[in-house]
Amino acid sequence: MIESDWKHSDARRLIKRLRRHRNDLFTFLDEPGVPFDNNHAERAIRPAVIIRKNSQSNRSQRGANTQAVLMSIYRTLKQRNHPPIETITHAIETHLKTGQLPPLPPKTAAIG
């Protein structure tokens, strides 16, 4: 079926994508620990989507870029089991005193 000559532009675009990613589509079958869905990624970006929705979206490209960077830093710190607000506050204080940002804290064991 994938080798058929598709007339509809959406079908042709889908087939092109399937061909381009054919070696990656079933990685979850060969690699233990690779999920078959992207639910984890969807849940990870949900807070940023809710913030964007509640704030009536970003008003500019600069605002969108700023939010993307801040949410990335926030989520990275949470995933590394660091308190995001305190860590960011410390980084800002260090930058104001020294002119340099401290390195990103290393990943720690799960809290609890």
Residue 2 has pLDDT above 90, yes or no: no
Query: Per residue in 98-110, pLDDT tens?
Result: 999 888 777 766 5
Q: Could you tell me the pLDDT band of residue 112, with boundaries at 50, 70 and 90?
A: very low
Buried b (16+ CB within 10 A) or exposed e, 10-23: eeeeebeeeeeeee
Query: Per residue in 62-94, pLDDT tens?
Result: 888 888 888 888 888 888 899 999 999 999 999
The structural domains of the chain, with segments of one domain joined by +, span: 1-36, 37-112
Could you tell me the two tokens for 58? 């970003």
Rounded distance between C-alpha atoms, residue 67 and residue 104, angstroms: 19
Question: Which H or E run contains 47?
Answer: helix 39-54
Query: Per residue in 38-67, pLDDT tens?
Result: 888 888 888 878 877 777 667 788 888 888
